[in-house]
Chain A
Amino acid sequence: MVLKSTSEETTSKIGKILGRNLQPGTVVALNGELGAGKTVFARGVAEGLDVQVVVNSPSYVIMNLYRGRMELYHFDFYRLEEEEELQELGLEEYFYGDGITLIEWADKFPGVLPTTRVEIDIVKDDEDLENSRILYFKHLGKLEESLIEELKKVASPGY
């Protein structure tokens, strides 16, 4: 699935709809260059999970935990250089727990991600670098068909 978002608000809204419908234990991998809108998307997911506090970029602390309808583990691999550093984070415990694991810069270490996951590449649209983003859903995990249809209604299919 490919979606086109023409604003930060829409990118966040796609995340929100996703967040509202995620099953416990889902891993969401987010990829995209700096400024693509990964944290914006993550904030939407958090909102969909009824997280009440401000969601910040987790680049520095690597992981932020939020409590909403379910727990949200918000990871960021940006500062990590070697796969070895990941071992100490106890990723498996989060992956196979009851919360939602959301990982920014997930494609830095594709080997550690579970096979069943939702994975999205957020790419800046050359036509409008400021506002427009193409969202490539590379893996759909266990997302329901109805949810995919709902997402397509919010953002126009990219192609």
Chain B
Amino acid sequence: MSHKTFILGLETSCDDTSAAVVLNGRTVLSNVVSSQDNFHLRFGGVVPEIASRRHLEIINPVIDEALSKAGITFRDLDGIAVSYGPGLAGSLLIGVSTAKALSFALELPLAAVNHLEGHIYANFLTGATISFPLLCLVVSGGHTSLLYMKGHGQIEILGRTRDDAAGEVFDKIARALGLGFPGGPVIDKLAQQGEAAAFSFPRALMGEEGKLDFSFSGVKTAVLNCIRRETEKGGQVRPADLAAAFQEAVVEALVEKSLMAIRQKREAGQFLLAGGVAANGELRRKFRQKLESKNIELIYPPVELCTDNGAMIASAGYYYLRQGRRASWDLNAVPNLELERV
């Protein structure tokens, strides 16, 4: 590959359709996400986002926009990267089919990126120098995983959720409080005006030293039961207090398990945050505070690279291709794709 390598990254694993152009795996030239950029205004209608038909309708305009914003054409590209799982089958398929068609027609190498691994690479787009070995917490609507990474493609899963993902409980609690979707940002904002000490909710699996798995369904149920009890009493439950106490319970579990991982993997020099929940203000604040005195550097992506996006897939794809990890023409979407344990 030439010294200037342009990778087109496609991401359609869930609700958003995204295409991005990344230079040399590190510099975002464009990152178009369907839910942003007023795409929903120009292409009529917001719902149903889940429908793969919607991905199909807008993927070409999204790609065109990504190329034009990057100031390049198809002929300038050096490779195509696509997230092929985990995710919603129909949605993934649109990205995978499009990527295969482009790669075949343009005679370009194709990289099949694990969506979860893609999230980690949002940190490569921050300008920070990333050095292995490192630890990473991927926390989003669909995933909560604590990973140890020795190099590109060398990932060890240290812990993961045993039930609900952290972002999922944010959404479910937000809905129960009548706050709307997505739940992360609204709870984050509301919690700022609340008193976390007003309620005490259980922390997930806090007692088990050494165990790095998460569980969030317990705190979810506790908060829901609390709302129900208070409502039945006709009591004055302040949503802001509930939001603050709930958020603290979730954030604390994430921080505590991460500190355990840091104690177990002392050779790691950096700790990365990734995924939609990494955009949470309280989560970032707590991590900054707790890691300040530790001998480990904290890195997290800007908010727009935390949620699902094509740029992170392009970055991961760049490193995949540099290692010669090319996907073949029989690539298919794998909805329940797991990270390979090393």
Task: Give A residues with C-beta under 8 Å from B.
Answer: 33-35, 39-40, 43, 53-54, 56-57, 59-66, 79-82, 84-85, 88-89, 124, 129-130
Identify which of A33, A35, A129 gathers the most chain B CB atoms within 10 Å of its CB: A35
CA distance in complex: A75, B225 (Å) = 25
With A34-B175, A34-B220, A130-B225 given, can you name 4 additional A-B contacts, CB distance below 8 Å?
Answer: A81-B47, A82-B48, A84-B51, A124-B228
**Structural contact, B14 and A89, CB atoms closer than 8 A:** no
Q: Residue A64 contacts which of B164, B224, B336 (CB distance < 8 angstroms)?
A: B336
**Structural contact, B51 and A39, CB atoms closer than 8 A:** no
With A63-B89, A81-B47, A129-B229 already in contact, the answer to whether A57 and B217 are too (CB < 8 A) is: yes
With A61-B86, A61-B142 already in contact, the answer to whether A56 and B50 are too (CB < 8 A) is: no
Q: Residue B168 contacts which of A57, A80, A88 (CB distance < 8 angstroms)?
A: A57
Number of interface residues of B (CB under 8 A): 37
**Structural contact, A56 and B162, CB atoms closer than 8 A:** yes
CA distance in complex: A81, B162 (Å) = 26
**Does B61 sit at the interface, judged by CB under 8 A?**
no
**Structural contact, B50 and A60, CB atoms closer than 8 A:** no
**Structural contact, B87 and A85, CB atoms closer than 8 A:** no
With A35-B220, A39-B217, A88-B90 already in contact, the answer to whether A57 and B48 are too (CB < 8 A) is: no
Identify which of A56, A65, A66, A85 gathers the most chain B CB atoms within 10 Å of its CB: A56
Residues of A within 8 A of B47 (CB): 81-82
Residues of A within 8 A of B176 (CB): 34
**Structural contact, B142 and A60, CB atoms closer than 8 A:** yes
**Which residues of B247-269 have CB atoms within 8 Å of chain A's CB atoms?**
none
**What are 29 residue pairs bridging A and B, where the CB atoms are less than 8 Å apart in the complex?**
A33-B224, A34-B175, A34-B221, A35-B221, A40-B163, A40-B217, A53-B338, A54-B160, A54-B162, A56-B161, A57-B168, A59-B168, A59-B172, A60-B142, A60-B167, A60-B168, A61-B86, A61-B88, A61-B142, A61-B335, A63-B88, A63-B335, A65-B335, A82-B48, A85-B48, A85-B50, A89-B90, A124-B225, A129-B229
Shortest distance between the CB of B128 and any CB in chain A (Å): 29
**Structural contact, A34 and B224, CB atoms closer than 8 A:** yes
Shortest distance between the CB of A32 and any CB in chain B (Å): 11
**Structural contact, B163 and A56, CB atoms closer than 8 A:** yes
Identify which of B161, B165, B221 gathers the most chain A CB atoms within 10 Å of its CB: B221
CA distance in complex: A113, B164 (Å) = 25
Residues of B within 8 A of A88 (CB): 51-53, 90
